[in-house]
Amino acid sequence: MSDRPHPILVAIAALVYLFLMVPLVIVVGAALSDTTYLTFPPQGLSLRWFENIFAISAFRRTIVTSLQIAFLGTLFALLIGIPAAYALNRFRIELPKWLGTLFVLPILVPEIVFGFALLKSLTVGAGVPIFLALLVGHTLLVLPYVVRVISASLASFDFSIEEAAISLGSAPVKTFFTIVLPNVRAGVIAAFILAFITSLNDVSVSLFLTGPGISTLPIQILAHVEQFFDPTVASVSVLLMFLTVAVMAIVERTLGLTFLAK
């Protein structure tokens, strides 16, 4: 056995990274181009397309909408998902098995079908305003991630710890906040980030639910590409990328990313 990996293995790994990274490098390059059309390699270096994002009001508006939807949707998903995950784990024996599956359903249904179903039921059927429909859609979209990640955290939590606290005189609800929640903190933060990023980058569900005046950033990017072929779309993609990377970097710094893989 040698300590060095086999050359073929190294080559394959390098190719995988190449496939992953090259498109991103091209987008970053294109965003920095001084030309009025998308091109790679960049001709001249300029940040004017980044400035252009903020010059176009549709981008300004949709960035705010996307962040609002992602933040609120994740928040609501946590408010529903944490108690749900707790109940699913705490009463695993008493509860029917399909109940856990129910919370994962939005991942199992193709997103495009899910989006269409929401359009038919919320927007067309119930006449729900666009922002609210988007919020409901995104909450449901990210709920499975929240339930899954927090469930994984709770699976290794020993519920006799909770019983010990209650036996020592701590009321059950108080015990949840002082004993259970601090011990699944990492799971809650992981769930928040995963849900936030999923919501921020979603296209399929938003595609159906956006409407006149209200759109999300990814949908606005699509719309922009249909009309213009300037590097703004590349620079806004870079912005979205960096937003995602920044969130991940904060996690890596504070918690380490390894727990996401659990």
Partner 1 sequence: MTQPLHIDAVSAHYGTTKVLEDLSLSVQAGELVSLLGASGCGKTTTLRLIAGFLSPTSGSITLGGRDLTRLPTHKRDIGLVFQNYALFPHLSVLDNVAFGLKQRGIASAERRNRAMAMLERVGLAALADRAPGALSGGQKQRVALARALVIEPPLLMFDEPLSNLDAKLRVDMRVEIRQLQRANGTTSVYVTHDQEEAFSISDRVAIMNAGRLMQFDRPEELYRRPANTFVARFVGFENLIPFKAVARDGDIVTAESAGMRLRLSQSLFGAIPDSFLLATRPDGLTVSIEASAEGLPAQLGLRTYLGRAYQYQCETAAGHLVANGSLTTPLEAGTSVKLVPVPEQCTILAPGGDA
Asked if 171 touches partner 1 (CB under 8 A), the answer is yes
Give the nearer residue to partner 1 in terms of CB position, either 35 or 183.
183
Q: How far is the CB of 168 from partner 1 (least distance, A)?
A: 4
Q: What element of type H or E holds 82?
A: helix 57-90
183 in contact with partner 1 (CB under 8 A)? yes
Q: Is 166 in the site for partner 1 (CB under 8 A)?
A: yes
254 belongs to the binding site for partner 1 (CB under 8 A): no
Residue 33's φ and ψ, nearest 5 degrees, are -70, 150
Q: Report residue 211: phi and psi, to 5°.
A: -160, -165
Report which of 71, 42, 52 is spatially closest to residue 224, judged by C-alpha positions. 52
Question: Among 44-52, 56-64, 153-161, 244-252, which window interacts with partner 1 (CB under 8 A)?
Answer: 153-161
Is the CB of 125 or the CB of 256 nearer to partner 1? 256
In the 8-state DSSP scheme, what is residue 156? T
| Terminal alpha carbon distance of the chain | 29
- Could you tell me which residues are beta bridge partners of residue 33? 45
Residue 175 contacts residue 210 (beta carbons within 8 Å)? no
Alpha helices by DSSP H, 36-158: 48-55, 57-90, 98-108, 111-118, 130-155
Name the token pair of 189: 């933060």
| Shortest Å distance, C-beta 181 to partner 1 | 10
Residue type, 168: L
Q: Interface with partner 1 includes 96 (CB under 8 A)? A: no
Cis peptide before 83 (omega within 30 of 0): no
Residue type, 96: P
Kindly state whether residue 179 participates in binding partner 1, applying the rule CB under 8 A: yes
Please select the residue that binds partner 1; options are 57, 160, 227, 254, rule is CB under 8 A. 160
Report in angstroms how near the CB of residue 176 gets to partner 1 at its nearest.
12
- How many residues of this chain bind partner 1 (CB under 8 A)? 17
Chosen residue from 57, 168, 226, 258 binding partner 1 by CB under 8 A: 168
Name which of 121 and 156 has its Cβ closer to partner 1. 156
Q: Interface with partner 1 by CB under 8 A: which residues?
A: 158, 160-161, 163-172, 175, 179, 182-183
